[in-house]
Structure formats: C-alpha cells, structure tokens
Structure 1
Amino acid sequence: MTETTNPAPPAADADWWRSAVVYQVYVRSFADADGDGVGDLRGIRERLPYLRDLGVDALWLTPFYTSPQVDAGYDVADYRDVDPLFGTLTDFDAMITDAHALGLRIIVDLVPNHTSSAHPWFQAALAAGPGSPERELYLFADGKGEHGELPPNDWESIFGGPAWTRLPDGQWYLHLFDPAQPDLNWRHPRVRAEFEGVLRFWLDRGVDGFRIDVAHGMIKAEGLPDVGFSSMTTGQRQSELLGKGRLPYFDQDEVHEIYRAWRPILDSYPGGRMAVAEAWAETPQRLARYIGPDELHQAFSFDFLDATWSADSFRKVIDTALAESTIVGAPTTWVLSNHDRQRHVTRYGDGEIGLRRARAAALLMLALPGCAYVYQGEELGLPEVLDLPDELRQDPAFLRTGESRDGCRVPIPWSGELAPYGFGPEGSELSWLPAPATWRALSVAAQTGVAGSTLELYRAALRIRHEHPALAGTTGGVTWLEGGPGMLAFSRTGGGTTLTCVVNISGAPALVEGYGRPLAASEDLTEQGSGHLLAVDAAAWFERR
C-alpha cells in the first residue's frame, strides 16, 4: 500500500459545493475496464471525459474499499485500501489525478456506522470473548430471558428481521443492517480516533469530500431501550418511522459531537473539502442540526425525491427546503434518484409518461438554487429494471424482505446493439446484472448528438446552469409566479436577466407567455400568438433581459 499526497484542483473555489452538480457513480455499474462484468476505478477513469462533457462538477463514488461485498461494498473490511474487484490504490490515485486535471472533484462514500464482520476489529472481538476490550469497539450485549436466549431489545434491522445476532458464546451483537455489518460503538475513543485517521488518509490522497452513510446512526440511546413495537407484533416495521419519528438507535444528540470533531479536519485542508450527510430525522429542524459552520456542509433533501407528481407537492417541498436553507446558511441539496431508491422514470409512471415527467423534473431541479445530485443513468432516461430474475439479485434486503434495490443498479448502457452495451471492453459480454433489450436505444452512443434526446437535454441544461447569471446564486429563495391550477412557475434573477422555469402538471397543454424567449424545454414548444404552448408533463426555461 503506497502513501501519496494528491492535491486538490488548482485555483480551487472553497465554496464550489454550494452550487455544484454532483454525479453519483455506482462504481460496480458504471464502466468495466477489465472485462470481469463489474465496474471498476479504471473504467471510471476512462469515462471521465464523458462526465466533463456532460457538465457535472464532481463525482460521488460509492464504496470501493476492501469488502466481502455482502452489501455492495457498504460492508467495509479495510477503510484504507481498494478492493481488488475495483482495482488498486494506484488506480485510485491515477483516477483522481485525471479527474482534477479535467476540473472534476471526487467525493467518496464513508461508512462509519458499521464495519464488515470480516474487519480485523470484529474478528478480534469474536476471538476475545465476552467482557474483553476488543468487544467494547462494537455493541455486544447479553440477551434477555432465563438463559439469555432472547435479544437484548426489540430493535429491528433496516433490512428486515431482528437487529441482533447471537454468537455461540451466548452474547448478542447489534447490526442495524445485515448481520455481516456489525455496528460500531461510537462512544469508544478508539473508534473516533480511527475514523479521524481514515478521513485524513483520503484527504491526503486528494479527495474533495465525503458522503456520510447513515450519518444519523452512529450513537445509540444509553441503555439500549426498546422501541416499544415491532413488525412481529404490529405488522409495522420500525424502519417506517424513518424521517417521521424518533428511534433510540437514530438521530441521537451525541452524534453531533462526532461532526464537530470532523469539521476542523476538513477545514484544515485547502480547496473547500466538504461532507454531505445521508441523514434522516423526525423534523426538518432536527435534520438542519447536521449542517453548519461547525458540523457538516450539506444533508440530502429526500423530501424532493419523495414529492408526488403534483404542483402542490413540489411547491411545498421546495418552500420548506429553501426556508431551512436560509436558517442554517447552507445550500439545499436536490436529488431525484439514487442507488437505494426506484428510478424516478418509473416512480413517475414508467414508460413514455414516466420519461416525460422525469425530463421535466430534471429541468425543475436544475433551475433551483443550491446543489443538485444526479444518479448515473438518469441523464439517459433509464427506468427501473423490474423483471430481474430473483437468482441474480444481490441486495441483502431482498433475502430478508423480498424488497430489492437491484433494479436501479443495472450497469448503464454506453454503446452497441447487444447487452451489456459497451459496459466492458470490446468483445466482453459479462455484466453482473443484465440490461434489458430496450436499453439499446437509451445508450450514450444512441443519444449523443440526437436533438431532443434526454442526454442532450441534460447537457444543454447543465451548460445553461453554469453560464446563466440568473442561476449563479446558491442560496436564497425563488419568486413564485401565478400560472393557473397545476402549473408550477418561478423565476430567478441575476446579472440583469431573469430566468423563469415553468412546469405543466395541469393535465392539458398550457399557453405560456410574458417570460421572454425559451432557453430549454423538455418537450418541443409550439409558438402560439405571443407565447408558447407547453405540453402536458413538460417543463421549459425562459429568459427575459
């Protein structure tokens, strides 16, 4: 394992993250350079020019660390090395050097709530036995019942079933996810020191930021109290309370001490190193506590992802997010899809209707102030793959609940007439999940240069977002405009120009006038009198100087 220092891009803007468009790379499904059917770091490196030309500012890479891959790398066995499945540290260094040369920044996933059961710490804890110092690094506990045969409490795994597994020596250990992902004890100083070292390791290699997995989960309530209900007794899973109520294993006040210790580390490096939280809290006020000058820079706004296809739903979510942004002095983070959720083409109705709405939603998101996160393949209009054979699914949640996230993780299509559509090197037919035949028309090659394609829509919108003075502001609100029932319209002003975004969710074509000349549209606009006819489930940007 080699040590290196890989500096941030030259002339780095410390506030770059406030208005960035971040492209999420699901590493195993992006590009496969060695032909084994799994995406890798060399594959990402080879495709960096595509991402530069798309117009994004940064890449967020899902975990590529040493791992048994029980949960697609979110079960980490070594936080300071690359799993051979994805390459080597040398490959990482070469990739980040090339990314910086192209003006792209790199955000890496950090998984601090739990390790892999293959991590040396957990293996040592198993060998050491009950009461040992090694077990203090995790959450081991004696069971209830006459002989300790019952779990220590009623906590449930997010993946379904109990959150406790009993060992042959009689003790139980906590895993809020898969049994192969034991939870760490973040009240132990050695755990805190270890992750501060991990942060510095990757910052020294030049990473520009971290996405903190389960950022709300590291601290558990003292005494490990019961929730008070379980799916076994009520039919309601505890995970259904995420973002709606308090759970004793999530969003505890002490978790903020961790981030107050991390922020000075991030600030000690040049170039605006940042961190974004994947956090769930019962109120917007509690979620806002993760953000600030002494904690993290951003927290994902999943409410935008969860908005229904209606003007009222989007407006309520946008107003709430912008109000919170003003309170904490940090930018909003908009996201439509990610590796854990069904792709929004399918959520919005699938087929032609879902694609039309997804294209409109993209223009809506990219016109809003703040930071936008784009999940790989959404720029191609990819739908969820709903018919994967059960035997090919690898999501550990599928084995416990029958629910699977694999449908949004199918490798993206690059070129060609036959699957896997250029995912690997020429002649390679391997792909860890199969792509449907319909994707040949959605590949990068099939859409490049094609007027009206989803890829060219994203390219145009991202170019305008970067260049237009009205979209330069990163905080503050939008000016809502009256557009009639089912119409969503707002404007932003800057540099002597006004950009207006209009989304038609009314169910009928709508005449749009008075906002100036069109800059971009998700569907063709038809001139009508002094205005333009905007199709159903379409969005457009207009400019007035």
Structure 2
Amino acid sequence: MAERTWWKRGIVYQIYPRSFQDSNRDGVGDLEGIRQRLDHLTWLGVDALWISPIYPSPMCDGGYDVADYRDIDPLFGSLDSFDALIADAHARDLKVILDFVPNHSSDRHAWFAESRSSRDNPKRDWYIWRDPAPGGGPPNNWISNFGGSAWQFDEATGQYYYHAFLKEQPDLNWRNPQLREAMFDTLRFWLDRGVDGFRVDVIWHLMKDPEMRDNPPNPGYAPGQPDINRLLQIHSADHPDIYGVLAGMRQVLDAYPDRVLIGEIYLPIERLVTYYGPDLSGAHLPFNFQLIHATWRARDIEALVREYEEKLPEGGWPNWVLSNHDQPRIATRVGQAQARIAAMMLLTLRGTPTLYYGDELGMPAVHIPRDRVQDPWEKNEPGLGIGRDPSRTPMPWDRSFNAGFSEVEPWLPLNQDWHTRNVAVMKEDPTSTLTLTRRLIALRNERKSLTVGRYAPVLVDDHVFVYRREAGDEQALVALNFSGEDQTVTLPQGAQLGAVLLSTLGGREGERTGAKLHLRGHEGLVIEAHREPH
C-alpha cells in the first residue's frame, strides 16, 4: 500500500512563512506570498508543503507562542487567505501540513488569562501551577530550554507556572481532560478546512512526571554549553504517559481520510521509535533528526542508517531530515560539495524526506548582525552560537531588488551571494544544486525502488557508502563519496550493474559500470542495478 499513500511515497517541503515571499510590502513573508510561489513547488516536484506556525501570536518566539489556535495572525493574512492557499495547493495536487503547537500557548491566550485570574478558576488546571518549594523559590530544579528556571512566579495567586521555553509560553496541562478535548477540537477545526496533516511541535514534552521530581545533573555538561544541558531532562519530558495522548491525536486524524501526523522529537533512536506507538497507534512519522547531528563520515552515516532500520517497529515507515528552522543548514554544516551528496542521500534513502526551503539552492547560514537578531534564545544566551536566525533568512528568488522576496527591507538579511544563489539563476544552470535536486526528485518519482523499495546495505569503508534500493525486479544502487579524493571500490561478488542514472557532478549519465566502481571526489551516483542470475 505504500505506493498509494501520499505521505510515504511523497516529499515534504518545509516553509518558514516569514521568509518565503512577502506579498504586502512589510518585509515579512505571508500566506498570499506562499500562494504566489506554489508553481516553484510543482516545478521542483515535491508533494506537500509544511508551514511553520501562522496563528495569532505576540511573536515572542516566532509564532510558537500561540494566542489563538483557530485563526491566522494578520501578519500572515486571514482565514480567507488560508482557504485560498489550501484551494490553490490542492488544485496543484499539493498537500498542506500545518504546524500544531500543543505543548504551550502564549501567556496572552484567553485560556491563560482565565487560568491565572484565580486559583479556583475552571481553567486553572489547564496549565501547570505549583506552590513554591518549602523553603521558597521554584517548585523544582527544571530548566527552560531557553535558559534559566522553567518556573515563573505569579504574584496575583502566589504560585509558579511551568514553561519549558519562554516565560511567555506557559505549558498546557495535558493531564486535564477538558484541555485535551479542546485541543482535539482544534485539530478538527483545521481538518474540516482541508488541512492534510500536522507536524506536532515538541511532542515529547507534552507529558511530564506527575510528581514533578528534580532532574538529575548531566555528567556530560561542560561550561559554554546551553543552560538546558546542565540537567538530564528525564522527568520534564519523554514521560511514558505520552502514548495515550498520541493515540488520542491519531484517532482524531484517522476519522479523516489520508491525513498524516508528524511528531517533532529530539531523542535517541531507541526512544524516537517508541513514538510510533503501540501497534502503530501514535505518530505516522516521528521526525528522525539523526542526520542533522551526525558526524559526516561514511562509516558513521552507514551505522546510523543501519541502527534506524533495525529499530523501526514492524510496519513503521522511516523518514529523513537534513535541515530545519531550528538547526544550522546542511550546506553550512558539510560544505557545498557535500551538500550535494546529502541531497542525493536524502532523496534515495528509504522513507519520507523533508526538504527545508532554500536547501534546494544550497543556501548557507547567513550572518546576522547583533542589531538584527530576532531569536529569543540567542538574546537570552548570547555568544553561544545557538541563534536560529541564520537558518530562517529570506528565500532568494531572482536578481531583482531584495532577491524578489520583498519590495522593502526584509525582516532578516539576505544571503550575501543572493545575486547568483537564487531560483531564477540556478534554474538556468544545468550544474546547479537546484537542477540536481529537481533531477533527483524526478528520478525518485519515476522509480518505485527509490520511493517505496526496501533498503539493503552493500558496502562501506572510510570514505564511501553504497546501498541498494529494491522493489520487485527494479533495483537502484546508490554510491556516495564522503571525501574530496577520488575513490575506487570493489562491489561484492555478483553485483549486476548497468548504466549511471545520475551523478551529483554530472557528465556520466548512461556510462556502463562494473564491479570496480570509480567515484570522483565529492561524487554520488545512482546506478541501474539488476538481480543476480540464479
């Protein structure tokens, strides 16, 4: 059934809405801007767009502080402009995935205003309130992900509320059945508008230790690391009660045809895979971020792929991610040459790939002058290099004023090389990263082995990683050189190879290959393969 399930065979394209296209001359991207650029997505060949939060928000954390879960922030448009985007996307056979932010709201949400108004308000228990510790001070030692205590004292009622992120982002209490049902109704609100699925923000945070025990010290903490690393977050996140919540979300989505539930989860593989839920009753795709944090060496990458494939539950569908709005871009982490290797791997490994906007151009992280920093985490802990703004800069479309993104100064600076690294210029260059990405997507879409075929390891050494994808009699071999030097590898006996289908460096398509496989420095190949004769 995988070839008929859109979120298994398809490619998800993540859009950070502030940075995709400005349509109303305020320097910030919006929904109408996304709608105007849908043709880029269909030309590229992706299947779904995931839009980071667009709800009404004070924007203390770029929209991840939601003040109303059932509306659109005027910065981005209106419900009417959202409906128009959905209609236009669906007309192009593009699915639309929304960000859902259920762990915390804004402190300006009407629910929180009620909750903090008095200790006996009906919504008091919709958030997490606790008395001060016996000697005074916060109820426990939990740390905010953005630094400092995760507890904020409220003078009016004499209690602390918990916030895993900013103090302006109080955590919702998912142990309260009324809150839980209100959030499920929110999912239905958007599903009824035609949304095709949700990416659920920090899903592993939703359930905490009910006893609120202190987190233990992290023996691996070193000065200079973010404050959150001082403790092991074993009581403040990843609590086993999460599986009941996941099953409830999944039941809501399962009442609608062909919807997908994606979970943001920064956990080791053995914990990550548990979010598929018992009997696959949880997230369809618990986000696999292992490539984002991996050491970029052939043996390490192969071991990571092997471990993930081995630990997936039976029937669990894999997924892969190279970059996102919270992490340094792949081209900055590994360099432009290896970013092309990364693109080939992302689009040929088994599972659903998520492509971050701009990565199809090889966009680098952009230097943000101190006076233009927007990210609250960077402002809270300056000097650690943890700012996320460098990965959230405007999409460069062409060589016109402000790269075609906006007619006024953009909210963040453009990439310095935008005159040459933009969609219009790279579209015309047969050797560009954009052209390579489009060709990889087209090759993936036309070959069942690369969309839904099984994964089989073939060979790994210090520099080269080779694997096979198989679907019935159709096979493809992928060979990736992680070094800048030419490499020759001898494939295992019996390997039946045919013509090169695609090279990251070009110039070899149609070339016949054999058991001795030659790769140029920084070259990746997709090769037609055949079954061994019996």
1:413 matched to which residue of 2? 396
Which amino acid in structure 2 is aligned with residue 400 of structure 1?
N
Aligned partners of 2:428, 2:241: CA distance in 1, in Å? 52
Alpha-carbon RMSD across the aligned residues, in angstroms, is: 2.3
Aligned partners of 1:505, 1:13: CA distance in 2, in Å? 31
Residue of 331, 337, 353 corresponding to 1:345: 331
Which amino acid in structure 1 is aligned with residue 447 of structure 2?
H
Cα distance per residue 1:443-498 (max 9 Å; x no partner): 00010131111111011000010101322325x4x222236542101111235332
After TM superposition, give the deviation of residue 197 of structure 1 in Å: 0.4
Which amino acid in structure 2 is aligned with residue 205 of structure 1?
R
2:263 matched to which residue of 1? 277
After TM superposition, give the deviation of residue 384 of structure 1 in Å: 0.6
1:452 matched to which residue of 2? 431
SS at match of 2:32: helix
2:508 paired with 1:523: no
1:229 matched to which residue of 2? 217
Aligned partners of 1:347, 1:123: CA distance in 2, in Å? 42
2:456 paired with 1:479: yes
Equivalent residues in 2 for 1:174-323 (5 A)? 174-229=162-217, 235=223, 239-240=228-229, 247-270=234-257, 272-281=258-267, 284-285=270-271, 287-291=273-277, 292-323=279-310
Q: Which runs of 5+ in 2 are unaligned?
A: 491-495
After TM superposition, give the deviation of residue 246 of structure 1 in Å: 5.2
Contact 2:273 2:311 in 1 (8 A): no
Aligned partners of 2:452, 2:474: CA distance in 1, in Å? 13
Which amino acid in structure 2 is aligned with residue 97 of structure 1?
A
Contact 1:525 1:533 in 2 (8 A): no
Aligned partners of 1:334, 1:395: CA distance in 2, in Å? 26
Contact 1:518 1:543 in 2 (8 A): yes
Aligned partners of 1:482, 1:193: CA distance in 2, in Å? 50
With 312-321 and 507-516 compared, the bigger mean Cα shift is at 507-516
Which amino acid in structure 1 is aligned with residue 283 of structure 2?
L
Aligned partners of 2:403, 2:394: CA distance in 1, in Å? 9
SS at match of 1:65: coil
Which amino acid in structure 1 is aligned with residue 309 of structure 2?
L
1:544 matched to which residue of 2? 529
Aligned partners of 1:510, 1:227: CA distance in 2, in Å? 48
2:65 paired with 1:75: yes
Aligned partners of 1:441, 1:466: CA distance in 2, in Å? 28
Aligned partners of 2:473, 2:143: CA distance in 1, in Å? 55
Q: For residues 525 and 482 of structure 1, do their structure 2 counterparts lie closer, same or farther at Cα, with a shift above 3 Å needed?
A: farther
1:365 matched to which residue of 2? 346
Q: For residues 339 and 263 of structure 1, do their structure 2 counterparts lie closer, same or farther at Cα, with a shift above 3 Å needed?
A: same
2:362 matched to which residue of 1? 381
SS at match of 2:521: coil
Q: For residues 502 and 109 of structure 1, do their structure 2 counterparts lie closer, same or farther at Cα, with a shift above 3 Å needed?
A: same
2:449 paired with 1:470: yes
Aligned partners of 2:328, 2:236: CA distance in 1, in Å? 26
SS at match of 1:216: helix
Aligned partners of 1:32, 1:286: CA distance in 2, in Å? 36
Q: For residues 28 and 421 of structure 1, do their structure 2 counterparts lie closer, same or farther at Cα, with a shift above 3 Å needed?
A: same
Aligned partners of 1:455, 1:416: CA distance in 2, in Å? 16
SS at match of 1:78: coil
After TM superposition, give the deviation of residue 144 of structure 1 in Å: 2.0
2:97 matched to which residue of 1? 107
Cα distance per residue 1:402-458 (max 9 Å; x no partner): 22100000011001155x20002xxx1321001133122110001013111111101
Aligned partners of 1:359, 1:167: CA distance in 2, in Å? 51
Aligned partners of 2:376, 2:226: CA distance in 1, in Å? 17
2:81 paired with 1:91: yes
Normalising by structure 2, we get a TM-score of: 0.91
Q: For residues 139 and 417 of structure 1, do their structure 2 counterparts lie closer, same or farther at Cα, with a shift above 3 Å needed?
A: same
Cα distance per residue 1:332-356 (max 9 Å; x no partner): 11000000000011111xxxxx011
Which amino acid in structure 1 is aligned with residue 360 of structure 2?
E
Cα distance per residue 1:41-91 (max 9 Å; x no partner): 001111111101101010111000111111111000001000000000000
Aligned partners of 2:426, 2:272: CA distance in 1, in Å? 43
Count of residue correspondences: 514
After TM superposition, give the deviation of residue 240 of structure 1 in Å: 3.4
Cα distance per residue 1:220-277 (max 9 Å; x no partner): 101211113389x9857574389xx65211111111111111222211112x111011
Normalising by structure 1, we get a TM-score of: 0.89
2:153 paired with 1:166: yes
SS at match of 2:69: strand
With 133-142 and 366-375 compared, the bigger mean Cα shift is at 133-142
1:62 matched to which residue of 2? 52
Aligned partners of 2:512, 2:440: CA distance in 1, in Å? 24
SS at match of 1:318: helix
After TM superposition, give the deviation of residue 364 of structure 1 in Å: 1.1
Q: For residues 506 and 382 of structure 1, do their structure 2 counterparts lie closer, same or farther at Cα, with a shift above 3 Å needed?
A: closer
Contact 2:427 2:435 in 1 (8 A): yes
Aligned partners of 1:317, 1:382: CA distance in 2, in Å? 25
2:118 matched to which residue of 1? 129
Cα distance per residue 1:125-179 (max 9 Å; x no partner): 23x2234433211111121254x3x111100000111111112233211111011
Aligned partners of 2:351, 2:449: CA distance in 1, in Å? 13
Contact 1:280 1:287 in 2 (8 A): no
2:315 matched to which residue of 1? 329
1:8 matched to which residue of 2? none
Which amino acid in structure 2 is aligned with residue 406 of structure 1?
D
With 502-511 and 281-290 compared, the bigger mean Cα shift is at 281-290
Q: For residues 532 and 220 of structure 1, do their structure 2 counterparts lie closer, same or farther at Cα, with a shift above 3 Å needed?
A: closer
Cα distance per residue 1:178-219 (max 9 Å; x no partner): 111000111111110111100100000011110010111111
Q: For residues 480 and 394 of structure 1, do their structure 2 counterparts lie closer, same or farther at Cα, with a shift above 3 Å needed?
A: same
SS at match of 1:519: strand
2:143 paired with 1:153: no
Cα distance per residue 1:360-400 (max 9 Å; x no partner): 11101211111000000000000111x21112111110111
2:133 matched to which residue of 1? 144
1:423 matched to which residue of 2? 405
Aligned partners of 1:409, 1:481: CA distance in 2, in Å? 37
1:120 matched to which residue of 2? 110
Which amino acid in structure 2 is aligned with residue 184 of structure 1?
L
1:394 matched to which residue of 2? 374
Contact 1:288 1:328 in 2 (8 A): no
Q: Which runs of 5+ in 1 are unaligned?
A: 1-11, 349-353
Q: Percent identity?
A: 38
Aligned partners of 1:532, 1:490: CA distance in 2, in Å? 13
